[in-house]
Each structure stands twice: as structure tokens, then as C-alpha cells.
Amino acid sequence: MADAPSLRVAVVAALPQTAPPLVDALRARGHRVPVVIGFRRPADWPGHVLGEHDLPPGVDLAVPSRPESVAALLRAYAPDAAVSYGYPRKLPADAVSAPRLGTVNCHPSDLPSYRGPNPVGWAVRNGERTIGVTWHRMDAELDTGSVLARTTIPLDDAVWSFTGVNSRVLEAASAMLPQVLRRLVRGDAGEPQSQREGSWAGFFGKDYATVDWSAPAAQVHTQVRAWNIAGHHPRVEGPVAVIDGTRWRLRRTALTQPPPGTGRRIACGDGDLWVLAADALD
């Protein structure tokens, strides 16, 4: 099936791992990307947010001081459509409706399951072996708009970081973009989200931040993986464990013994766990 005609598409994304691949995917299909709407770095953000050096020539970077400024920026660039991915703030209704054909968002879950800012972290916490990737129209609420395309990808134990999950999600999302844009051009409203009860995937709280070594080893292992895939938390640090009287943030663990000289063996409630990487907090 033919791609949509060449469109002016704004990208709304905050990270260097997300915006450039979306720009590349759109341009490879013959669309023009005049601007990426980025995000001002919070004072407590541990990494760097998207910078102008991350984007190819000819693509502007606009960094609004507040979400209420996004609508005016989009109107100034007059895009036919906007594509959002992983933006850390809810877009106001006037921003969502500013592009001529509307705004679409990619969410890494099978909506309406795992709406919110931490869908993959909760999927790992709940023992899911796959995750959904859903393109939906944006509306005034969060992750509730009608669906334009969806698929499912594996969530296997080899994935341990936001970056690792993000690369898989973006690959699947980019493959669906032509279908999504065709539906926008046709004025297709999309399918309302399933009537099954949705679930909310908020940031992990303090109740999940501390490691209890008396718990089963697999449970602790899952907790470590879930926190590391979830990435930066604006208020709570985890998973934190005490080893020999020192507090550590655990980065990587293993349920099977690693090569000699690698990792630290810890006795858990039903067996051993090996700590492979951690950062001292004290």
C-alpha cells in the first residue's frame, strides 16, 4: 500500500534516544520534519535531554518553557500532523489540535492496559513476557484516544534498560508509521479503545523502592530489572539494598552463578542471587 502524500510532520519528543529515530523514519518516507518540540531539562535529571546537535540539518529544535507554550510553537510551524513519543508532560488540548490533521502518540503498551508514564516498568514488575506498542490519536486525556495501529513485541529477560526497550519499541513504531499517517490523511477516526478495564502505570513508589533480601531471589531480580527499565524517577530512588551495612542502588543481578570473580552472592529467602552492578549511596 502506498505511503501517505508528503506531509509536514512535527515531532514531540524529549530524549536523544527517541527524537532522532522518529525524524529519520519520517524523512525516509518522504515527509518533512520542520521542528522537534523538546523539553527543558529538569534540575534533577541525571542524563541529558535532546539538544540541537542530536538533530539532522534543517530540523529546528524548539524548547518550550512550559506545556502551555507548545500550541503556539506548533501553530508557528504549521505542520500537517504531529507525532509524539515519550514526552514527559501532558500536552494541552489546544496543542493536540494545533496540527491540521491532529496529533498521534506512541505508547508502549496494549492500551488501555498500562496507561501512564511507566508502562514497561510495570509490565516487567507483573511478569509480562510481551508488551504492546500502540499508536493512538491524542485527546484531552492521557493515553485514552482512539487507536490507529498496534502490535506486540517480546519483553525477554535480556532487556535491562530503558534504552534497550526503547530501541525495540521504536523499530515497531516506525514500521507502523505509514499506516498511521495514511489514516490521518483519510480523516480516519480510528477505533475507540477496548471497553475492558484499563490500568494505570504510574511511577514506582516508596513501597517498591527497598530490597528485602528475605524475599524470593526471583522477586528481587524482577524488582531490580523493573526499576532499571523504568529509568529516572523524579522523587523516589530504587531499588535500594543494604549490603554489609552500606546502601546500594542495584543496577544488575543474576539468578545463576556468573563466571568466577564476577558479582557478589547474596542469600535470599529461597536461594542465592548475584549482584553484578551497583552504585554506592552512602
Condensed to tens digits (0 to 9), the pLDDT of residues 213-222 reads 999 999 999 9
Condensed to tens digits (0 to 9), the pLDDT of residues 177-209 reads 999 999 999 999 999 998 888 899 999 999 999
User: Under 8 Å CB-to-CB from 28, ≥6 apart: which residues?
Assistant: none
Of 50-54, 75-79, 83-87, 211-215, the poorest mean pLDDT is in 50-54
The answer to pTM > 0.85 is yes
End-to-end Cα separation, the chain, in angstroms: 58
Domain 207-280 adopts which CATH fold?
Answer: Methionyl-tRNA Fmet Formyltransferase; Chain A, domain 2 (3.10.25)
pLDDT at residue 211 in the model: 98
Condensed to tens digits (0 to 9), the pLDDT of residues 8-49 reads 999 999 989 999 999 999 999 999 999 999 998 776 666 677
Domain 9-185 adopts which CATH fold?
Answer: Rossmann fold (3.40.50)
Domain positions in the chain: 9-185, 207-280
Q: Quickly tell me which residue has 490519536 as its cell.
A: 137
Which residue pairs, CB below 8 angstroms and at least 24 apart, start in 87-92? 87/12, 87/13, 87/14, 87/37, 87/39, 88/14, 88/39, 88/117, 89/39, 90/142, 91/12, 91/67, 91/138, 92/67, 92/68
Under 8 Å between Cβ of 92 and 72: no
Number of H helices, E strands in the chain: 6, 11
Under 8 Å between Cβ of 85 and 22: yes
Helix boundaries (H) for 115-194: 119-125, 162-185
Instruction: Pick the closest to residue 177 from 11, 58, 35 (CA basis).
Output: 11
